[in-house]
């Protein structure tokens, strides 16, 4: 009587790690033709370039002012969050107007290689509560969909899929970090877990 061959249990995390890849920006250059246009059109183009330069200068100035405001209000914001999380604060101007500074639950991408570094700062227990591993799985362009439907086993998975992995902070991390972590630990953690810069609006 033939004996059934034992099926090896698959470690899903190990499998995903084995096919994980990083996104690489394409450096291909497009060739755009140049037009011969009338002097009146060239004048309009010159005006457009002048406007763009002025807008760029204003944007640069706005960026500097915004950064200065954020730096000034961040200590008070963190003190408030140490007693209970809020995402926004209002800041008055000299003439009685208000702006709203908002911190969003959004962070720059964190690669899986940073897992150990983050755990060293926040501790294993907090890590499991504050961070998750996000897997983005895409079917390769040359994959046969009929084969995909019949997909069985580890080798076929590796052959037909690519996986992009990132560590993603949970909302609990955003809401609890000011109460549960010292300012020193938050400073060190900011080198790896970079929250998006707060937004400023006038309404």
Q: What is the pLDDT of residues 143-199, one digit of tens each?
A: 776 776 676 677 777 777 777 889 999 999 999 999 999 999 999 999 999 999 999
In a domain, 153, yes or no: yes
Domain assignment present for residue 80? The answer is yes
Only one residue has tokens 């140049």, namely: 34
92 within domain boundaries: yes
pLDDT at site 184: 94
Residues of the domain holding 124:
40-201
Whole-prediction pTM = 0.67
Torsion 112-129-134-153 (CA) sign:
positive
pLDDT of residue 202: 78
- Residue 58 belongs to a domain: yes
Closest by CA to 83, choosing from 10, 5, 180, 4, is: 180
Structural domains in the chain (count) = 1
> Whole-number mean pLDDT of the chain?
86
Could you report the per-residue pLDDT of 17-51, keeping only the tens digit for each? 766 665 545 556 668 888 999 999 999 999 999 99
On whether residue 121 sits in a domain, the answer given is yes
**Is residue 91 predicted with pLDDT exceeding 90?**
yes
Examine residue 27 and state whether it is found in any structural domain, yes or no. Answer: no
pLDDT at residue 9 tops 80 = no
Is 44 inside any structural domain? Answer: yes
- Token pair of 24, please? 């690489």
């Amino acid at each position: 009587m033939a004996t059934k061959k034992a099926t090896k249990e698959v470690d899903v995390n190990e499998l995903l790690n084995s096919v994980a890849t990083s996104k690489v920006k394409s450096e291909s250059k497009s060739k755009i033709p140049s037009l011969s246009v009338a002097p009146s059109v060239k004048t309009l183009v010159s005006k457009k370039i002048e406007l763009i330069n002025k807008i760029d200068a204003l944007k640069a100035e706005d960026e500097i002012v915004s950064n200065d405001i954020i730096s000034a209000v961040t200590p008070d914001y963190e003190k408030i969050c140490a007693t209970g999380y809020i995402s926004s604060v209002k800041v008055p101007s000299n003439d009685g107007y208000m702006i709203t500074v908002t911190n969003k639950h959004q962070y720059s991408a964190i690669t899986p290689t940073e897992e150990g570094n983050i755990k060293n700062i926040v501790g294993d227990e907090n890590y499991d509560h504050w961070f998750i591993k996000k897997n983005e799985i895409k079917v390769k362009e040359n994959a046969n969909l009929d084969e995909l439907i019949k997909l069985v086993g580890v080798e076929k998975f590796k052959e037909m899929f690519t996986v992009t992995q990132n560590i993603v902070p949970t909302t609990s991390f955003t809401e609890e970090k000011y109460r549960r972590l010292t300012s020193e630990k938050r400073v060190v953690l900011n080198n790896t877990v970079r929250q998006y810069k707060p937004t400023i609006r006038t309404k």
